[in-house]
Amino acid sequence: MVFTGLMLALPVRAQQATAPPLRVAAAADLQTVLPTLLQEYRRRTGVQVLVSYGSSGTLAAQLLNGAPQDLFLGADAQYPAKVVAAGLTTESEPVPYARGTLVLWARQDSPLQPISLQTLSSGRVQSLAMADPGHAPYGRAAQAALEHLGLLTTLQPHLVVAENIAQAGQFAESGNAQAGLLSLTLAQSPRFRQLGSYVVMPRVYPEILQCGVVLRAGQTAAAQAFLDWLRLPATQAELPALGLAPAR
């Protein structure tokens, strides 16, 4: 991946040579996104980044209980806002860095192929993976979409609820679920493109505005530099290829 423009804002490699790794708590939908971005960031800055993935709700709870992190990249604004409200951040409100998209994905050998939006109302769905709406923004979006489409009650007995969106992807990928309501970041990853196909869900769910916050007790300057880099026009322009839309 090639990044161009506005890179003068990045810290120079020499300044980062002896810095400790940047610790990032990241939403599970970023598991297929951040490795690509971090490779470029480290090449340009020399900064090493250690990432802990999980559902946004779980990560927020850990941070509220004192987990040592420098930056929180949530899959929505709600959970970063809880960390802000607790007085743990340098910002007064969550900072948008991307927008997410919900899709319906199935393996090529799934009995639900060819997959389409009509699949959900076809009566053929016996198992459908989704993230837990209690603490995963994509799960909340999936629940809202099914409810808006009038399908939640019908499909409720067939839902396979995962801890987070990455685990929901594992259920669908392994065939333990016939299909999954997943993030576009997963569906557009090389492995998922090879194994299956997807359709984009109608935008009948609340917008998935993914936001980040810098933790006050962490390496604030390094965390702010990385968050600023994510929001640079050059970086934002690369997000669609990874399954995310620009924040603005």
- Is pTM beyond 0.85? Reply is yes
For residue 100, the model assigns a pLDDT of: 98
Burial grade of 163 (CB within 10 A; 0-12, 13-18, 19 or more)? middle
Q: Are 179 and 102 in contact (CB under 8 A)?
A: no
- Report domain 102-200's class: alpha beta
Count the Cβ atoms, other than its own, within 10 Å of residue 207.
11
Superfamily, domain 7-99+207-242: Periplasmic binding protein-like II (3.40.190.10)
For residue 229, the model assigns a pLDDT of: 98
For residue 12, the model assigns a pLDDT of: 41
Count the Cβ atoms, other than its own, within 10 Å of residue 137.
31
Q: Are 90 and 153 in contact (CB under 8 A)?
A: no
Q: What is the mean pLDDT of each run of 10 residues along the chain (248 residues)?
A: 38 55 98 96 95 97 97 98 98 97 98 97 97 97 98 98 97 97 97 98 97 97 98 97 95
Which sequence spans correspond to the domains of the chain? 7-99+207-242, 102-200
Structure tokens that stand for 166 in this block: 């990455």
The reply to whether 7-99+207-242 and 102-200 are identical in fold is yes
For residue 17, the model assigns a pLDDT of: 52
* Spatial distance between the Cα atoms of 81 and 9, rounded to a whole number of angstroms: 27
